[in-house]
Amino acid sequence: MFLQRLPISAENITPLPKPHTLSSSPRSQTHRYPSLPSVTNLRSRTLALASQKAAVEVPGESSDGAVGSKLSREPEPLPPELRPDLIPKHVAVIMDGNGRWAKMRGLMPSAGHEAGVRSLRRIIELCCSWGIKVLTVFAFSYDNWVRPKVEVDFLMSLFERTITTEIDAFKSEGIRISVIGDTTKLPDSLQRMIKYAEENTKESSVFQLIVAVSYSGKYDVVQACKAIAEKVKDGTMEPEDINESLIEQELETNCTEFPNPDLMIRTSGELRVSNFLLWQLAYAELFFDPSLWPDFGKEQFVEALASFQQRQRRFGGRTS
């Protein structure tokens, strides 16, 4: 059964002795925070699309019926408009627009985040069906810590609840879960759950879900530099040994065989990368969708993949 809900609780899990850290160096506490995101810069197409949907949908349901109660689906055939030989190995997604989705329905941001989890489940199902090997999702940025405490607390409990609910299904489906970001800032129970989920799915090889939580692309580069500097300092490496592949080995995406996304999708109509995988996106194809994340479903994903399949990737060279 696919992504079936199974009742596991964090209390049933043996506490781990040490807090979970993903990098060898302690994280900087000197991050400069931006002001809270504004909702005044919505693209007109985004607004139009979202208000049409708000008018016709029950809150919590996305356009293709990808709701939490329909988790058990058979693998889906690849739509005829997509070529199996051009399916990207690694797709990255900035899942943006949950707050606006909720606001348009007169709901709190938490309702948008709940609805966003349903979209994520649906996209994971499609990735598994269509042979995408890695999906990296931006779930919470380091810069999001400045949001109201009530929203941050809700998100932390939502992450824990979601991992708890899905972990066994992930394992039985061959889905590996990895988390990147400064997890030391997360609540202890969530850190334990992440560690447990990573440990228990590390042998899974069908598909890898990388969740970026408390993640900063800039800090990822900083922590890689620090790790390399330590090696130079202790004499295990010379400065002239430093090259791109060595830096990639120190970035947090060293948890996967395919660290550099082929395709990066951002929803909600915003045209920026917002401190996501800055190094890793060097040659990613970019796709910006006006849908708010809770409304992003199969139709939009197919459109993104079809657009990707029409791109000419040159990596700086010539094709003709």
**Catalytic residue ranges:** 96
Q: CB of 122 within 8 A of CB of 295? A: no
> Taking the complex as a whole, how short is the minimal distance between the CB of residue 281 and ligand IPE, in angstroms?
14
22-41 mask for ligand IPE (x: CB under 6 A)? ---------------x----
Minimum CB distance to ligand IPE smaller for 259 or for 269: 269
Taking CB positions, which residue lies at the least distance from ligand IPE? 99
| Residue 214, binding choice from Mg ion, ligand IPE, none, Cβ under 5 to 8 Å by partner class | none
- Give the binding site for Mg ion (CB under 5 A): 96
Judge contact between 248 and 218, C-beta under 8 A.
Answer: no
Q: What is the largest CA-CA distance in the chain?
A: 64
Q: Which is nearer to ligand IPE, 63 or 214 (CB)?
A: 214
Q: Which of residues 85-144 bind ligand IPE (CB under 6 A)?
A: 94-100, 109, 138-141, 144
Place of tokens 């596991």: 8
- Per-residue binding letters, 211-250, with ligand IPE (x by CB under 6 A): ----------------------------------------
Residues 67, 202, 248, 226, Cα dihedral to 10°: 100
Site for ligand IPE in 60-79 (CB under 6 A): none
CB 7 to ligand IPE: min, Å: 26
> 140 with 104: CB under 8 angstroms?
no
Candidates 46, 191, 268, 300; binder of ligand IPE (CB under 6 A) is 268
- Give the Cα separation of 266 and 250 in Å (integer): 26
- Binding site partner of 144, from ligand IPE, Mg ion, none, Cβ cut-off 5-8 A by kind: ligand IPE
Pairing of strands 175-180, 134-141: unpaired
Please give the Cα distance from 73 to 15 (Å, whole number). Answer: 33
- Considering beta carbons, is residue 169 or 284 the nearer one to ligand IPE? 284
**Cross-strand bridge partners of residue 317:** none
- Residues in region 149-178 near ligand IPE by CB under 6 A: 155
Length in residues, the chain: 320
Q: Which is nearer to Mg ion, 113 or 195 (CB)?
A: 113
Q: Residue with the closest Cβ to Mg ion?
A: 96
Indicate which of Mg ion, ligand IPE, none lies near residue 272 (CB less than 5 to 8 Å, by partner kind).
Answer: ligand IPE
CB of 225 to Mg ion, least distance (A): 28
**Binds 223: which of ligand IPE, Mg ion, none (CB < 5-8 Å by kind):** none
- CB-side neighbour CA atoms (13 Å) of 101: 30
Beta strand pairing status for 134-141 and 207-215?
parallel
Measured between alpha carbons, how far is residue 127 from residues 7, 37, 88, 90 in Å?
24, 30, 10, 10
Among 157, 274, 307, 309, binds ligand IPE (CB under 6 A): 274
Q: Which residues, in sequence order, are CB contacts of 305 under 8 Å at separation 6+?
A: 82, 87, 88, 130, 263
Q: Measured between alpha carbons, how far is 230 from 232 in angstroms, rounded to an integer?
A: 5
- Compare residues 102 and 180 and give the one whose CB is closer to Mg ion: 102
Q: Which positions touch ligand IPE (CB under 6 A)?
A: 37, 94-100, 109, 138-141, 144, 155, 268, 270, 272, 274
